[in-house]
């Protein structure tokens, strides 16, 4: 069973294979709704809004986990990943998306589902096989012609995340030069052991511009495919084993 709904301001697709799939799908969307309500920086009644109003607000265990992951990623990336906006406000959206997809995947696994695909705005968690009993096949889109797929990644599990400006404009910036839009890279797709890892590193790598692919190359278990604004693609040393044209 596959269903797509709007959640967290983006299209979210959940596909679950097997008996009682509808139960798993509904549980997944309920969790997306809950996390959006609690952690959206755009909702006045969210916990993130409360934290921005009062820096002494004591975060819940889940928000504390998100903030710790954000700080860890900031340190690992040399400050290229930073959830603090130039105006000083905290916006954890760059890590919440991958975090909630990973939590949904863990919930589905706990429910006993082995075969599923959770896709939120192009960041994807995969497990097992699709309804045809085959590997999940995920296409990497051409950022200049979104209807064109330039590579296909086949996987039985793990995570895939793409960061770029094609779909949402300049929503990612270099914290070291916030006034300068990123213009040398169009997109970078990261494949990792889980979607949270893929998502946080893809965001950091895109903020680095052309050097992002070199950053991913240093991370064990991660591979990446980067497309420059000139249309030229480069990839990490192990990516070709995962994908084909």
The confidence score (pLDDT) of residue 208 equals 95
The confidence score (pLDDT) of residue 98 equals 97
The confidence score (pLDDT) of residue 168 equals 58
Place of tokens 């480069």: 234
Domain count, the chain: 1
Q: What is the secondary structure of 53-107 as a DSSP string? A: H-TT----HHHHHHHHHHHHHHHHTTTSS--B-TTS-B-THHHHHHHHHHHHHHH
The confidence score (pLDDT) of residue 34 equals 95
The confidence score (pLDDT) of residue 173 equals 74
Which of these, 147, 141, 156, 230, lies nearest to 188 by C-alpha position? 141
The confidence score (pLDDT) of residue 41 equals 92
Give me the CATH number covering residue 183: 3.10.520.10
The confidence score (pLDDT) of residue 170 equals 56
Instruction: Give tens-digit pLDDT for 154-164.
Output: 998 999 999 98
The segments of the chain whose pLDDT lies below 70 read: 166-171, 244-245
The confidence score (pLDDT) of residue 179 equals 75
Residue span of the structural domain in which 44 resides: 2-244
The confidence score (pLDDT) of residue 204 equals 96
The confidence score (pLDDT) of residue 167 equals 55
The confidence score (pLDDT) of residue 19 equals 87
Q: How far apart are CA 245 and CA 240, in angstroms?
A: 10
Q: What is the secondary structure of 101-147 as a DSSP string? A: HHHHHHHHHHTT--EEEEEETTEEEEES--TTSS-EEEEEEETTEEE
Non-local CB neighbours of 6 within 8 Å, separated by 6+ positions: 12
The confidence score (pLDDT) of residue 33 equals 96
The confidence score (pLDDT) of residue 243 equals 78
Q: E strand or H helix at 34, and its extent?
A: helix 21-39
């Amino acid at each position: 069973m596959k269903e797509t709904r709007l959640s967290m301001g983006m299209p979210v697709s959940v596909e679950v294979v097997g008996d009682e799939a509808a139960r798993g799908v509904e549980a997944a969307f309920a969790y997306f709704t809950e996390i959006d309500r609690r952690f959206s920086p755009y909702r006045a009644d969210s916990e993130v809004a409360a934290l921005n109003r009062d820096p002494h607000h004591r975060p819940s265990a889940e928000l504390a986990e998100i903030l710790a992951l954000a700080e860890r990623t900031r340190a690992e990336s040399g400050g290229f990943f930073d959830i603090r906006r130039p105006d000083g406000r905290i916006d954890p959206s760059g890590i919440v998306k991958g975090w909630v997809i990973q939590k949904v995947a863990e919930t589905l696994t706990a429910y006993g589902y082995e075969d599923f695909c959770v896709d939120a705005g192009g960041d994807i968690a995969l497990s097992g096989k699709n309804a045809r009993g085959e590997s999940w096949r995920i296409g990497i889109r051409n950022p200049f012609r979104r209807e064109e797929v330039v590579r296909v990644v086949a996987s039985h599990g793990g995570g895939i995340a793409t960061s770029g400006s094609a779909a949402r404009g300049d929503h990612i910036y270099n914290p070291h030069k916030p006034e300068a839009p990123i213009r040398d890279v169009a997109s970078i797709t990261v494949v990792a052991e889980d979607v949270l890892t893929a998502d946080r590193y893809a965001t950091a790598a895109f903020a680095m511009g052309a050097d992002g692919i070199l950053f991913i190359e240093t991370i064990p278990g991660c591979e990446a495919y980067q497309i420059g604004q000139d249309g030229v693609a480069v990839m990490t040393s192990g990516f070709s084993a995962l994908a084909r044209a």
